[in-house]
C-alpha cells in the first residue's frame, strides 16, 4: 500500500527555508566569525606579552668585596628617582649659598682660587654638578653678584635655609625642572643677628653618565662630597632666579 503525501503535509515535515531561517543562519555565522576573531586577537596579545616579559633583563645579584650582596634591578637609562632629584637640588643649594663664618653649623669657609677669583670651597665643589656649558658662566656670575668683595674679606656670611623643594616636573625624557624655595640669613659685623633674604631658584636637571672615580685612601671632605654628588648621575643644565611673590 502506497501512502500519498499531500504537498501541505510535506512542507511541514521538511526544514523551513524561508526568510527567518536564512536570517538565523546569517546571525550564527556572524557570531562564529566574531568569536574566532576575538580568539585570534587574544592569542596575538598573549604572544606579545610573553615576548616582552622574555626580553626583559633579569635582576642581577651583586656581591661587594666585603661580602654584602644585593639585587640590582635594571632600569631605563634616563630614569632618576624623584627623591634623588630633590636631594641633589637641596644639597646643591645648601653648599652653594652657605659661606663665611657660620657658628650655627660650626663652619668656617675656606676660599679657593678659581681662575684668579676667590670663591668658597663648597661653592666650587657644588659647581661640579653643572654641565660644562653652564659651570664657568655661573661661577663668574656668583663672584660678581653674591660672593662680593665684602664676603671675600670675611665681612659677610650667608646661611641658606631651604623651605620647600618642589616635586620634579619632567620636561622630556632625562630632563626635569625643580623649584628651590628658601632664604639666606645674611649677617655682617654691624648686624650679627642677620637679615633674611628670600632666595628662590629654578633648576633644570638632566640625566648624565656616572663617572668612574677612584677616591684616595684618605680623601678630603671636598673630595668625598664631590664623589657623592657626581654618583647621582644628575647634572644641572640651567638655573633661573624665581621672582618674589
- pLDDT reported for residue 9: 53
Residue 113 is placed in which grid cell?
682660587
- pLDDT reported for residue 183: 94
- 99-130 in b/e form (b: 16+ CB < 10 A) is bbebeeeeeebebeebeeeebbbbbbbbbbbb
Domains identified in the chain and CATH numbers: 82-241 (3.10.450.230)
- pLDDT reported for residue 10: 46
DSSP, collapsed to helix, strand or coil, labels residue 77 as: coil
- pLDDT reported for residue 206: 94
CB within 8 Å of 80: residues ≥ 6 apart:
176, 205, 207, 232, 233, 234
Q: Specify the pairing of strand 175-188 against strand 191-198.
A: antiparallel
- pLDDT reported for residue 230: 83
Asked if residue 150 lies in contact with residue 118, where contact means CB atoms within 8 angstroms, the answer is: no
> Cell 630633590 sits at which residue?
86
* Strand locations in 58-168 (E): 60-63, 69-72, 101-102, 107-108, 111-114, 117-120, 157-165
Tens of pLDDT, residue by residue, the chain (245 residues): 455 545 555 455 445 555 665 666 677 777 778 788 888 888 878 777 767 766 656 666 655 555 666 565 556 678 888 999 999 999 999 999 999 887 766 677 788 888 888 899 889 889 989 998 888 899 999 988 899 888 888 888 999 999 999 999 999 999 999 999 999 999 988 888 889 999 999 999 999 887 776 566 666 777 777 778 888 889 999 999 987 66
- pLDDT reported for residue 104: 67
DSSP, collapsed to helix, strand or coil, labels residue 91 as: helix
Torsion angle, alpha carbons of 95, 127, 178, 183, to 10:
30
- pLDDT reported for residue 46: 79
Asked if residue 230 lies in contact with residue 218, where contact means CB atoms within 8 angstroms, the answer is: no
Amino acid at each position: 500500500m502506497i501512502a500519498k503525501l499531500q504537498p501541505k503535509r510535506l512542507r511541514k515535515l521538511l526544514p523551513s527555508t524561508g526568510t527567518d531561517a536564512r536570517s538565523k543562519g546569517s546571525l550564527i555565522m556572524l557570531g562564529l566569525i566574531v568569536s574566532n576573531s576575538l580568539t585570534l586577537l587574544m592569542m596575538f596579545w598573549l604572544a606579545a606579552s610573553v615576548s616582552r616579559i622574555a626580553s626583559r633583563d633579569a635582576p642581577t645579584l651583586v656581591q661587594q668585596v666585603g661580602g654584602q650582596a644585593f639585587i640590582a634591578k635594571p632600569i631605563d637609562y634616563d630614569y632618576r628617582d624623584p627623591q634623588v632629584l630633590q636631594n641633589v637640588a637641596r644639597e646643591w643649594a645648601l653648599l652653594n649659598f652657605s659661606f663665611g663664618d657660620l657658628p650655627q653649623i660650626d663652619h668656617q669657609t675656606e676660599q679657593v682660587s678659581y681662575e684668579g677669583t676667590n670663591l668658597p670651597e663648597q661653592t666650587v665643589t657644588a659647581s661640579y654638578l653643572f654641565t660644562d656649558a653652564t659651570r664657568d658662566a655661573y661661577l663668574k656670575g656668583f663672584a660678581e653678584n653674591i660672593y662680593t668683595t665684602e664676603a671675600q674679606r670675611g665681612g659677610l656670611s650667608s646661611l641658606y635655609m631651604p623651605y620647600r623643594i618642589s616635586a620634579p616636573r619632567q620636561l622630556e625624557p632625562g630632563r626635569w625642572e625643580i623649584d628651590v624655595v628658601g632664604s639666606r640669613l645674611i649677617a655682617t659685623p654691624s648686624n650679627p643677628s642677620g637679615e633674611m633674604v628670600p632666595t628662590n631658584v629654578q633648576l633644570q636637571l638632566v640625566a648624565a653618565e656616572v663617572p668612574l672615580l677612584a677616591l684616595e685612601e684618605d680623601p678630603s671632605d671636598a673630595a668625598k662630597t664631590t664623589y657623592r654628588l657626581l654618583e647621582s648621575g644628575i647634572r644641572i643644565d640651567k638655573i633661573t632666579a624665581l621672582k618674589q611673590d
